[in-house]
Structure 1
């Protein structure tokens, strides 16, 4: 019994090192494997969506793509189960960001297996397409292996309050101008409701300008001009907020890396040698997000 427990514990530690640690040679090889598998599954999904047009002379092409999807689903299912079993906190990984992403990428196939009638129901075509599109979320699995993505994630978390205040202010402006345009245009020329008017305000404030709804009165055009100028003036605000926090995160990363020989700090995250004495630096041990 004790030997079985030690064998299980050793196997669990080995799986944890392969799936969660990427500083060893075997960990880096496993990292490369999962990156390639995630990219290949997304590429196959895009080919599958237009398989009938790309391969008109192959009547069973959708069946072949189905077999490929079956293989990817089995592979990512094994990965998900192993991550749950090897995680030190088994209840933490399933509700984490990457745990939810990993689960969503394998659920569509299982849902279609348990309810095969969905695939042939004409009134549920949108649901079936949504389940297929969920597989595109596999591209988000790549964020797990991008160390620099952690800087962006932490910056977003630290700036979330300021960004929320900014977008709340923008929402107020959109509702105000949408309501004014609905009243000025008297429900004509596409401004048939407050929702349509706010949609116009969103398109105008972001300076996209689809042209499907345009004001025709002099007052309406004046309001549109003000909203366009306002959009140009505030569009850089969230960029400035996020840039400031990203600069702080980069500076913290440089300060955290110090040379063990001369104790000189301020090295870049990808630096291999000390810029002051030339000694070899320890590898960067910062992690992007909770894996």
Structure 2
């Protein structure tokens, strides 16, 4: 019996290469894109060094246009390869991809000496390209799930820290007074936050023995507090283990990922997945 195979359209092939990493072409595309993103960030950094920019400005400009054209083609291909383009355009990654592409094109619109300051600021938007790296970091999915699961616990912890800072700041205001720099309660609370987080700017410092004793307790307490959110997230990170039979297949309709191996339909919208 002869085995029949479904013919893959050019849009499905582009979708498979750009949105998925299970195929050789998809892995190669991801590697190339990662290299280009890192190169673009390096160009932005080097351009900010005046001495280097003055010497190699032309090469940096040409390199930036090559990268911009590459990102433009990638952005267009991402739009035309899915069934609902608007869903991608308005998504988080869609907006990031647009921000990574438009700054160089805006340079044609904002011309003249009066626009140079705005143009320079807009060109710095290219640094948003580093956010494109997030979609290629496999561990980011686990971290996202862990942060989401520990959101309530961390919120309670932060609320507790705020209460502690208000109490300690008020106590320091009463103990030290305005003559030692603690002129009001908000400023004393600011000092408590700075001390508790072990930053210690040194702009305000207790002078009385009791104030210094309280400050010492706050500093030691700060080291203990650092470990609490770390432990919460670490615990949830251990629990949030993704199933090993998931793959990188992306739905061409809703763009949901992490489908089961051999899955035919999307678990989110029910659309047929690319073969």
TM range (shorter): 0.7 to 0.9
CA offset at residue 78 of structure 1? 2.5
1:170 to 161, 164, 167: 161
> Which string of whole-angstrom CA distances, capped at 9 and with x for unpartnered residues, describes residues 200-238 of structure 1?
333211223233332223343233223212212221111
Write the distance in 2 (CA, Å) between the matches of 1:188 and 1:87.
Answer: 67
Instruction: Give the aligned partner of residue 247 of structure 2.
Output: 285
Instruction: Give the aligned partner of residue 264 of structure 1.
Output: none
Instruction: Give the aligned partner of residue 209 of structure 2.
Output: 218
CA offset at residue 28 of structure 1? 0.8
- Determine if the alignment matches structure 1 residue 205 to structure 2 residue 196: yes
Stretch moving more, 226-235 or 177-186: 177-186
The alignment partner of 1:114 has SS state of coil
Write the distance in 1 (CA, Å) between the matches of 2:42 and 2:163.
Answer: 41
Aligned pairs (5 A) from 1:56-135: 58=55, 61-117=56-112, 119-121=115-117, 128-129=120-121, 131-135=122-126
**Counterpart contact for 2:180–2:207, Cα < 8 Å:** yes
Q: How many residues align?
A: 246
**Counterpart contact for 1:150–1:287, Cα < 8 Å:** no
CA offset at residue 179 of structure 1? 4.2
Change (3 A) 1:54 1:157: same
CA offset at residue 241 of structure 1? 1.1
Instruction: Give the aligned partner of residue 39 of structure 1.
Output: 38
CA offset at residue 19 of structure 1? 0.9
Instruction: Give the aligned partner of residue 51 of structure 2.
Output: 53
Instruction: Give the aligned partner of residue 129 of structure 2.
Output: 138
**Counterpart contact for 2:20–2:249, Cα < 8 Å:** no
The alignment partner of 1:92 has SS state of helix
CA offset at residue 24 of structure 1? 0.5
- Determine if the alignment matches structure 1 residue 153 to structure 2 residue 130: no
Write the distance in 2 (CA, Å) between the matches of 1:100 and 1:187.
Answer: 50
**Counterpart contact for 1:177–1:201, Cα < 8 Å:** yes
Aligned pairs (5 A) from 1:7-26: 10-26=9-25
CA offset at residue 17 of structure 1? 0.8
**CA root-mean-square deviation:** 3.2
CA offset at residue 90 of structure 1? 2.7
**Counterpart contact for 2:150–2:232, Cα < 8 Å:** yes
CA offset at residue 46 of structure 1? 1.3
**Counterpart contact for 1:158–1:245, Cα < 8 Å:** yes
Change (3 A) 1:44 1:222: same
Write the distance in 1 (CA, Å) between the matches of 2:111 and 2:187.
Answer: 39
Higher relative contact order (CA 8 A, sep 6+): 2
Instruction: Give the aligned partner of residue 267 of structure 1.
Output: none
5+ residue gaps in structure 2? Answer: 1-6, 258-275
Q: TM-score, normalised by structure 1?
A: 0.71
Write the distance in 2 (CA, Å) between the matches of 1:79 and 1:15.
Answer: 10
Write the distance in 1 (CA, Å) between the matches of 2:43 and 2:195.
Answer: 37
CA offset at residue 41 of structure 1? 0.7
